Amino acid sequence: MKPIFVVEGRHDAMRLKAIDATLEVVVTGGSNMHRDVFEELERLKETRTLVLFLDPDHAGMKIRKRLEHSLGPCAHIHLQPEVCTDKSKGKIGVEHASNETLKEALNRIQYADVPRGTLAYEKYQELFVISSNSRKNRQRIAQHYHLPMGNGKAFYQTLNRHAITEVMIQEGLNHE
């Protein structure tokens, strides 16, 4: 069964439908999601995979966290801000990504049924906390694996949620 894509706004939905008219999309309406939308997502989650395809900004991360906390594990698609920014308006969002970026993103859904705890915290600290290049390393790995950036603790949780191993991190850091 095809997944259902959850986006923030109707423009996001229109952009996805322009890429593939057969996609099923639910619009949250932003961070002030109406109770009816939330109830619809709860019903859909019982039989379908929900893919959270939200903007890589504060509001999008807040919605993503709220939905996953309430609905349980969901699949995800993450875009890096630089590939979905309208520089003339200074706005970030799925609706501003190119068709090519959206097509690529739709092919790299990160499903929630991955093993947890794949990276030891000590190794994480060595690479991303103690290192003088810790922020740069986090940025490189986030871009390489299309993950959201975050502070030290949040990024560790993201790496484990997406089953990013120490070997994968080394590959990502060595990739130019």
pLDDT of residue 172: 86
Pair (76, 146) in one structural domain: no
Instruction: Tell me the pLDDT tens digit for each residue of 101-135.
Output: 999 999 989 886 545 556 777 888 887 777 778 88
pLDDT band at 95 (very low <50, low <70, confident <90, very high): very high
pLDDT (tens digit, 9 = 90+) per residue, 25-59? Answer: 999 998 888 889 989 999 999 899 999 999 999 99
CA distances (Å), origin 101, targets 16, 75, 76, 107 = 11, 18, 15, 10
Residue after which a domain boundary falls, among 106, 132, 153: 106
Q: Which residues contact 71 (CB under 8 A, 6 or more apart)?
A: 41, 42, 45, 50
Share of the chain above pLDDT 70, in %: 95
Question: Which residues form the domain of 84?
Answer: 4-106
Domain end call among 49, 79, 106: 106
What does the pLDDT read at residue 115? 54
Residue 54 counted as domain residue: yes
Residue of 69, 148, 76 lying closest to 113 (CA atoms): 76
